[in-house]
Structure 1
Amino acid sequence: MPSRFTPQFADLPEVLPIFPLGGAIVLPGRQLPLNIFEPRYLNMVFDTLGGTRMVGMIQPAAEATRSGSDSVRRVGCAGRITRFAESDDGRLMIVLTGVCRFAIDAELESRPGYRRVTPDWSDYAADLDPDHDVSIDRQGLRKVLKQLADFRGLQLDWEQAEELPDPVYVDAFAMNLPLPDEEKQALLEAENV
C-alpha cells in the first residue's frame, strides 16, 4: 500500500545512486533492512537523505562475481529510505521500501565512491499502480515452496504465511528464500507473478 510519501511515476528521479549487492533484492512495496558501513555507501546514504531518499538496489552481473569486475545486472529496483538509525561504531542501519523497478539506461560519473545511473522506469509503471491486482494459485505455489523448503532443510512458519495477502506472500518468499542470484534476478525481472 503506497504511503503519502511514495513518489508518483512522473516524480521518479532522473538520476539514481545504485547499491550493488549480491543475493539482495527489494521488490516494490516490500522492505529490505541493510547495514551500511563502507565509506562510499555511507556517503551515498547521507547524500540521498537530503534529496529523494531513493537508492537503486541491483545485483552484480554473474560474470562480475567470477572475474572480480564491477559490472551489474541491467534491472534493479529503487527503494526509498524509510528508516535509518546510527550505531555507535559508525554504521547506519537503514530500511529500504521498494518503489519501482528500473532498467539502467546509462551509467554516470561516480560521486564520492558510489555509482549513479540514469534509470529507465518505462517498463515498470505498473509497480506504482495501487490497483494492480495479483492473483495466484496459492495452493500450487505453497506445494512448490514446501518442496523447496524441505529440500533445503528450511523451517518456515506456514500458518503465518497463509495470513499474508497474495502479493506479499509471493514477494516475501522471493526476497527471503536462499535462492541463487540468477533465480532472484529472474523473479525481479518477471513481468508478473
Structure 2
Amino acid sequence: MMGGAVTAERLSIFPLPGALLFPGLQLPLHIFEPRYRAMVSDALARDRRIAMIQPQTAEEGAPLFRMGCVGKIVDVEAMEDGRYNIVLEGLSRFRILRELEVKTPFRQVEAELIDEPDDLLSAIERAGFELEARTFATAQGYSVDWDSVGRLDDAALINGVSQIAPFDIAAKQALLEAPDLRSRCELLIQLMQFFGRRDRDDGKVTLQ
C-alpha cells in the first residue's frame, strides 16, 4: 500500500472543492449548512474528527476523489444561530474503501488511514523549491514573509504551499495524493511553472 500500513476507519466527510488539509497543518472553516452543523455537533460529541475530501464536481452528491485527510477539531466557536467557526488540524490522509448507506444528513465512508513516510528534502531540493516559489509569488503579486518561510521544516513548507496554492481541483488533488514529500515537491514545482504563466491582458493565471 502507498505510504505504509493502513487501518480501516468509519469517517464523517465534508466534501469541499478546493479545500485541502494535510497532516500537521490547520484549516479554518465556517460551518453554516444544517447538515454540516449536525456533523460538527456529532463530531464534538464523539472523537472531534471530520474528514475533508474534494468532490469531483460541484453537484449535490457528486462522486468523491479517492483520497482526503481526516482532521481533529482543535478550536471551535459555537454561534447563537447554530453556525460554527472551527479549526481542523490534519491527522492522517485516508483512502476511501466505500461510501456507507447512512441515515445522517452528512455522508460517511469506510476508509483506510495512511501512515505518512518520514522523509526530508535535500538542501538542493529545498533551495530549488524556494527559488521557484519566489518566482511564482512575484509573478502572481503575492506578498510573502520569506524569513518565516525559511524557518519552516520541509513538510510544513511543501504541504503548506500545496494546501493554499491557487491551483484547480484536479491539481490540488494530485498534490494530496503524491506518495511522499519529495514527489509532492517535484509536482508542486511543475504546477507553479505551469499555472504561473500570466495572461498579458489581465494578469491572471492562465493555462495558455
Question: TM-score band (shorter)?
Answer: 0.7 to 0.9
User: CA distance change for structure 1 residues 100 and 156 in 2, over 3 Å: closer, same or farther?
Assistant: same
Is the 2:73–2:86 contact (alpha carbons within 8 Å) kept by the matching residues of 1?
Answer: yes
Q: How many residues align?
A: 175
**Is 1:140 equivalent to 2:128 in the alignment?**
yes
Q: How far apart, CA to CA, are the structure 2 residues paired with 1:13 and 1:115?
A: 17
User: Distance in 2 between the 1:39 and 1:94 partners?
Assistant: 15
* 2:13–2:107 Cα contact (<8 Å) kept: yes
The aligned residue for residue 115 of structure 1 is 107
Q: Which runs of 5+ in 2 are unaligned?
A: 182-208
- Asked whether 1:159 is paired with 2:147, we answer yes
Pick closer, same or farther for the CA change 1:42–1:150 going to 2, 3 Å.
Answer: same
TM score, norm. by length of structure 1: 0.83
Deviations 1:62-118 (A, max 9, x none): xx23x6652111110111111111124431011111111111101012343100000
Counterpart amino acid of residue 23 in structure 1: G
Match of 2:68 in 1: 76
Deviations 1:112-148 (A, max 9, x none): 3100000022xx2136xxxx23224221001111222
Per the normalisation by structure 2, the TM-score is: 0.77
Q: Does 1:50 align with 2:45?
A: yes
Residue pairs, 1:90-109, within 5 angstroms: 90-109=82-101
> Cα distance 1:98–1:111, how it changes in 2: closer, same or farther (>3 A)?
farther
On the 8 A contact 1:13/1:52 being kept in 2, the answer is no
Shift in Å, 1:182 = 1.4
Q: In structure 2, what is the Cα distance between the partners aligned to 1:92 and 1:34?
A: 8
8 A Cα contact 1:107 1:117, kept in partner:
yes
Q: 1:35 to 1:149 in 2, by over 3 A?
A: same
Q: Name the stretch that deviates more: 37-46 or 68-77.
A: 68-77
Paired AA for residue 13 in structure 2: I
Percent identity (aligned): 38
Q: Cα RMSD over matched residues?
A: 1.9
How far, CA to CA, are the matches of 1:78 and 1:72 in structure 2? 15
CA deviation after TM superposition for structure 1 residue 151, in Å: 2.6
Matching residue of 2:187: none
**Which runs of 4 or more aligned residues in structure 1 lie more than 6 Å from their structure 2 counterparts after TM superposition?**
none
Name which one, 1 or 2, has greater alpha-carbon Rg.
Answer: 2
